[in-house]
Copies of this chain bind each other. A is one copy, B any other.
């Protein structure tokens, strides 16, 4: 799993930061977590191409998290995309899409499938499960997003297999989790020749939120927690009022989750790059490893 940050500013962009959007590259396909204005341009700049984009997950319907969907759809149609594109979003998204397509009826080259989400919902992807779960962002329904890789089977131990007298042609059954019976009547179980399953990676994205219990639960032992940190600690009151988090609050959530790494994002445009560099230095003393995301930064899980 590989993360590419496309936009790391809060609602107002800066010269070097775009509104929220994150690519999660799953290998055979990639998905978007939010798609603020400029997402397509950032995809172009990243060099990843549009071909493997399969699904867009929209955390909530504040414009800086979804206004980039429509220009992206326009471009994909101009590029003659054929594969359907799936969009998972809170209720209301479809109405906006309909209003936009109504004013300029153009035959799209591909199907857009919209799934409106209400409450905690999981979606199966090949090898991954994506879960949208409610977080706490003022009065607008908002979802954090967890991307969990399936657990992978343990490693097969050929030496042990030979010691137990497993014929070569039956190894495959054991590797697929099926017990076998040897000619001598003895039963060999998969766990006799396989190490324990390896836990799949977990990526959790907070979207815009106050620190909250659901995020701590879903983010438990996340390999990477991406948490918003709109404000520095001196603006905690403003964070509370606007349903956002401060840097220390985001770090508090990461600690409560026992996250293995923390990436902060969604920085208010009031902070200049040198402010953010300073704040990052200070934050690294409180949590490690920690990064302040930048546009087009890549993180390998």
Which positions in A face B, CB cutoff 8 Å? 11-15, 18-19, 36-38, 40-41, 44-45, 60-64, 67-68, 70-71, 74-75, 78-79, 92-93, 95-96, 98-100, 102-104, 140
Contact = CB atoms under 8 A, between A and B. Distances in A.
Contacts of A62: 74, 104
B103 A93 contact: yes
A61 B104 contact: yes
A130 to B, nearest CB: 22
A227 B71 CA distance: 23
Contacts of A102: 92, 95
7 contacts: A11-B74, A12-B75, A12-B79, A38-B41, A63-B104, A95-B102, A96-B103
A149 to B, nearest CB: 32
Given A38-B38, A63-B71, A44 B103 contact: no
Contact of A96 (B37, B40, B99): B99
A99 B11 CA distance: 19
Contacts of A96: 96, 99-100, 103
A44 B99 contact: no
Contacts of A12: 40, 75, 78-79
Copies of this chain, count: 2
A62 B79 CA distance: 16
Contacts of A92: 102-104
A223 to B, nearest CB: 32
A71 B103 contact: no
Contacts of A45: 15
A41 B19 CA distance: 10
Contact of A67 (B11, B18, B19, B70): B70
Contacts of A63: 70-71, 74, 100, 104
A69 B45 CA distance: 23
B37 A18 contact: no
A78 B140 CA distance: 17
Nearest to A89: B103
A60 B104 CA distance: 9
A34 B98 CA distance: 22
Given A67-B67, A100-B96, A13 B37 contact: no
Of A37, A74, A93, most buried by chain B (CB within 10 Å of CB) is: A37
Question: Ordered nearest first, which 9 A-B pairs have the shortest CB separation?
Answer: A92-B103, A99-B99, A37-B71, A61-B103, A63-B74, A61-B104, A96-B99, A67-B71, A13-B41
